């Protein structure tokens, strides 16, 4: 192991401001798809299942890039890795903005997912160049600006897509990402590598996990067409099983695995992973279904909302998610993680089941989506706190990487399942799913969320409070 001998150069407010601008631009670029997904489905002639795949493609890349980005940052320096990852994000944004069809847009989103791994590197840079007290403030500011960027993207995506075009809703935040990245590169001092532990990157594990996630998405997307394409679906299931078996074998043999499967044997960790998966399935159900229901024409059973209106309707949920983090942290400290998680699950499950029964007014959807976002935020914060405090300090990164992969799986399965339900519930010759398909999706998401209470009950013994 090698360590740096020279103290890091202290950065000033302009450098922190540049990181803040990068966070705003990244948050805006990340959030433009959700409120405009119904519009994209119409313009690119996508099925609901294909729309769900588009909605989670960015998260899949993030789950793969994040653990690798940290190691590269240690080995080559955070600034160098951050600049290169944001260059990938810039390319992805431009590909998305120029995409003429779904496959090209999926490629763009795949590249944009590098921002999920790049943002934590900015926190590493802040910690490396500022004293502890100032670094906490700076990290809080950058985190808050990323959330603010997400809100700005949610609000602006619709007006830009409808007033200009869908191409500009990707291009404008991408140009902001490129400009702010150049500013960070100019103002942020170079940070030398902090260590080299000689373990290397688990490339076989990364490749096999990528294949597992992508094949799983294809299986879920093809599921509604199982009757017409049984052989294709069966072949994909076999390929998925092969990828999973190969990935497990590779991770068990790896010196420094991408995901330490041995840690899953610890009760605190596997319970956290199971809870995270089930909660994210419920959250993703609302995240996908609510905008789709807003978009249903008024002459059917929906509200005929455009992308601009959908962005405004989703904003309260975004605000609720941003305040849920601090509330969850304070609640976990005062009442314990189990109480916070239980409260969040009850709020989410109740809201999803109410949505299944009552969704005839806009305020029904807005209120329920806000409650679900609040409950999900409370659960995620409490679970992260529980996971981080239930393992040794040196194992925190490994444990949280397991939770990250599980979170992505939960979102992916939930959104693809709901997309498959809407696709299967769409009559031949129509682009409008039957209302019963939405009811089924909300009930399924609510039931999975409610079942997570069975795991939450054991947290007092399995998870450190």
- List pLDDT tens digits, range 241-271: 998 898 888 878 877 776 777 777 777 778 8
Q: Please, what is the average pLDDT of the chain?
A: 80
pLDDT band of 420, cuts 50, 70, 90:
confident
Query: What's the pLDDT at 125?
Result: 73
Percent of the chain exceeding pLDDT 90 equals 14
pTM of the model: 0.77
Query: What's the pLDDT at 335?
Result: 80
CB 48 within 8 A of CB 397: no
More confident residue, 130 or 363: 363
Say whether pLDDT at 7 is over 60: no
Percent of the chain exceeding pLDDT 70 equals 82
Average pLDDT over residues 205-231: 77
Query: What's the pLDDT at 175?
Result: 93
pLDDT band of 441, cuts 50, 70, 90:
very high
Which of the residue ranges 15-19, 125-129, 186-190, 391-395 would you say has the lowest mean pLDDT? 391-395
Q: Model confidence over 32-77: pLDDT tens digits?
A: 888 888 888 888 888 887 888 787 788 778 777 877 776 777 677 7
Say whether pLDDT at 3 is over 70: no
Query: What's the pLDDT at 391?
Result: 61
More confident residue, 267 or 307: 307
Say whether pLDDT at 327 is over 80: no
More confident residue, 312 or 19: 312
Say whether pLDDT at 2 is over 60: no
């Amino acid at each position: 192991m090698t360590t740096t001998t020279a103290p890091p150069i202290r950065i000033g407010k302009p450098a922190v401001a540049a990181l803040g601008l990068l966070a705003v631009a990244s948050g805006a670029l990340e959030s433009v798809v959700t409120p405009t997904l119904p519009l994209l489905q119409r313009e690119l002639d996508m099925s609901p299942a294909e729309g769900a795949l588009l909605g989670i493609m960015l998260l899949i890349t993030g789950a793969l890039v994040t653990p690798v980005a940290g190691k590269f940052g240690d080995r080559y320096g955070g600034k160098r890795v951050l600049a290169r990852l944001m260059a990938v994000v810039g390319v992805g944004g431009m590909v998305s903005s120029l995409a003429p069809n779904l496959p090209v847009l999926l490629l763009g989103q795949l590249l944009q997912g590098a921002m999920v791994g790049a943002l934590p590197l900015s926190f590493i840079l802040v910690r490396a160049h500022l004293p502890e007290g100032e670094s906490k403030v700076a990290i809080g500011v950058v985190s808050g600006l990323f959330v603010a960027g997400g809100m700005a993207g949610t609000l602006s995506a619709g007006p830009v897509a409808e007033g200009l075009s869908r191409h500009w809703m990707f291009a404008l935040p991408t140009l902001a990402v490129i400009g702010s990245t150049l500013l960070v590169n100019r103002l942020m001092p170079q940070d030398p590598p902090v260590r080299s532990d000689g373990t290397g990157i688990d490339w076989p594990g990364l490749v096999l996990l990528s294949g597992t996630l992508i094949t799983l998405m294809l299986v879920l997307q093809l599921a509604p067409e199982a009757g017409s394409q049984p052989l294709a679906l069966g072949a994909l299931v076999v390929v998925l099983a092969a990828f999973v078996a190969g990935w497990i074998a590779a991770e068990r043999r790896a010196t420094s695995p991408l995901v330490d499967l041995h840690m899953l044997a610890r009760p605190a960790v596997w319970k956290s992973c199971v809870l995270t998966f089930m909660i994210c399935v419920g959250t993703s159900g609302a995240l996908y279904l609510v905008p789709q229901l807003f978009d249903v024409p008024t002459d059917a059973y929906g509200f005929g909302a455009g992308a601009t209106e959908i962005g405004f309707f989703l904003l309260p949920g975004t605000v609720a998610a941003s305040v849920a983090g601090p509330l969850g942290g304070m609640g976990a400290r005062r009442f314990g993680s189990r109480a916070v998680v239980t409260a969040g699950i009850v709020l989410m499950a109740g809201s999803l089941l109410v949505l299944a029964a009552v969704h005839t007014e806009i305020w029904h959807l807005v209120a329920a989506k806000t409650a679900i976002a609040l409950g999900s935020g409370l659960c995620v914060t409490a679970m992260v706190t529980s996971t981080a405090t239930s393992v040794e300090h040196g194992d925190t990164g490994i444990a949280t990487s397991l939770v990250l992969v599980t979170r992505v799986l939960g979102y992916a399965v939930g959104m693809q399942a709901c997309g498959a339900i809407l696709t299967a519930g769409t009559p031949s010759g129509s682009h409008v799913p039957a209302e019963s398909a939405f009811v089924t999706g909300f009930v399924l998401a609510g039931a999975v969320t409610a079942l997570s209470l069975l795991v939450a009950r054991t947290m007092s013994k399995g998870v450190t409070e």
